[in-house]
Amino acid sequence: MGCSVSQPVDFESEVNLFHFELHRAVGKGAFGKVRVVEHKKTKQVYALKYIDKSKCVKQRAVANTIQERHLLEEVDHPFIVNLRYAFQDDENCFFVLDLMLGGDLRFHLERRGNLSEHIVRFWMAELASALVYLHKRRIIHRDIKPDNILLDAQGHAHITDFNVAIHYSERRLHTSVAGSMAYMAPEVIGRKGYTWCIDWWSLGITAFELLFSYRPFDGRTAERMRKSIMNDTLKFPDDVSRKYSSQGINFIQGLLERTVSQRLGCKPRGAGFQDIKDHPWMSGVDWNLLSSKSAQPPFVPDAKRANFDVSHELDEFLMVEKPLTHSKRKANPNLDKMKPEFRQLEEEFTVYDFMSSQRRSYYPHNQPVVTVARSSESPERDHLAATQSQTNTIQPTATIAERTLAERSLAGSPIPGATRDIPLVATFSGYP
């Protein structure tokens, strides 16, 4: 389902939707969709994530959308879904990202039932490399889970969905709740203050689920899940010793260590990554080959089958919702007459073109840090111990963007506006 434009395209102008041919819809969310697009000049195929500004404002997701836009500009890594272009028109904000052809790990987990240990180990090595990269740039992802890990056509794993990602402070802990509850670390659930180490816990939950097809800490209600994450003993299936290596089990146990200073991957200044590389489960990994994407993935997605939910394309075909079209922007919009949220999007969701723009860091400017009042539920929370950071961490804080997210996370689901509903990257089995 292509959408062509007859008029000439000015490729010397700022990047805009007219630079792209629109193809199939492959993702849908609360206020946007994902389409496969092709750059008309380079013929390169990408994923286009677009967010309806009106719905974004209505759901109070403006701060997160801008923050995601800024954070994505900061990163470029082999195992991250990278931003290539960003722009907007009168109705939508657009992210143009690397296109992943292999589907997300949730899709493959549900299709296969569970995944072999050597496959999961390979992905864990690639994802560990990506997390270390993020943490060195003071970024916490906060929503690592199978849904947010996408495969390319060869089977390499990539982290996506930076909708609730934040910069962590080198001096303070964060206390807000954001992400998907089933994958949250105890220090998030318990409001004890956290930093980048929470991503390693989430990676451990993800590894457990990929191997055994269920999560180690669960519950029918949010409160039951909270108590399970905070208190329950980590239990493996009865036949675990017959089907899985002791090294693999030990690796997961290391990631799911409630004491942050003893958690695998959490030593400061890069030493945690060395612990991971030195772990017996990772003894067969050639890290040089891995970092260059030269290592052969043990699982290659089937290119002859769809690796996404085909109903997204059906919705577009049946005109269930207004289809995306090329449209010119209004000339010289009057910012003074705009509502504050629309003006903020207009001014801060800036144009990015990886062919001509140099990636920049927005730290700490996109993360104004404000102190949050302590909870009165538990007196001991007034005496919070600083968990390990890459440098030093002193007191709990929450950012402005985080405060709009607090208390909105439900068990097993992301907060409204998080990109579980809008996969950052399209996944499909072939070009349209």
The DSSP secondary-structure symbol of 98 reads P
Same domain for 264 and 116: yes
Same domain for 245 and 287: yes
CB distance 80 to 149 below 8 Å: no
| Residue 214 within any structural domain of the chain | yes
Q: Structure pTM? A: 0.81
Containing structural domain, residue 278: 105-291
Q: Which residues pair with 396 in a beta bridge?
A: 173
Query: Token pair of 124, please?
Result: 């864990």
Same domain for 258 and 121: yes
E strands, 259-399, in order: 352-353, 369-370, 395-399
The percentage of residues in the chain with a pLDDT greater than 90, rounded to a whole number, is: 62
Same domain for 285 and 144: yes
Residues 371-402: tens digit of each pLDDT: 233 233 333 332 223 333 332 222 333 333 33
Ranges of H-type helices in 137-221: 186-189, 198-212
Same domain for 224 and 81: no
| Residue 415 within any structural domain of the chain | no
What does residue 23 show for φ and ψ, rounded to 5 degrees? Answer: -115, -145
Residues 166-190: tens digit of each pLDDT: 999 878 899 999 999 999 999 999 9
Q: Using alpha carbons, select from 313, 224, 303 the residue that is nearest to residue 27.
A: 313
Q: Would the annotation count 49 as a binding residue? A: yes
Please state the rounded mean pLDDT for residues 358-364. 82
Same domain for 221 and 165: yes
Give how many domains the chain has, as a whole number: 2
- Give the CATH number for residue 197: 1.10.510.10
Residues 405-424: tens digit of each pLDDT: 333 334 344 333 333 323 33
Domain boundary among 243, 263, 291: 291
Same domain for 184 and 44: no
- Give the CATH number for residue 37: 3.30.200.20
| Residue 371 within any structural domain of the chain | no
Higher pLDDT, 317 or 43: 43
Same domain for 220 and 74: no
CA atoms within 13 A on the CB side of 260: 20
Catalytic residues: 143
CB distance 155 to 301 below 8 Å: yes
Query: Token pair of 303, please?
Result: 């290119």
**Residues near 193 by beta carbon (within 8 Å), at least 6 away in sequence:** 173, 174, 175, 187, 384, 386, 387, 393, 395, 396
Q: Give the per-residue pLDDT at 305.
A: 74
Please state the rounded mean pLDDT for residues 59-73. 93
In the predicted structure, residue 138 carries a pLDDT above the cut 90: yes
| Residue 414 within any structural domain of the chain | no
Under DSSP, is residue 32 helix (H, G, I), strand (E, B) or coil?
Answer: strand
Work out the pLDDT band at 329, boundaries 50, 70, 90: confident
In the predicted structure, residue 310 carries a pLDDT above the cut 80: no
Same domain for 182 and 71: no
Under DSSP, is residue 181 helix (H, G, I), strand (E, B) or coil?
Answer: helix
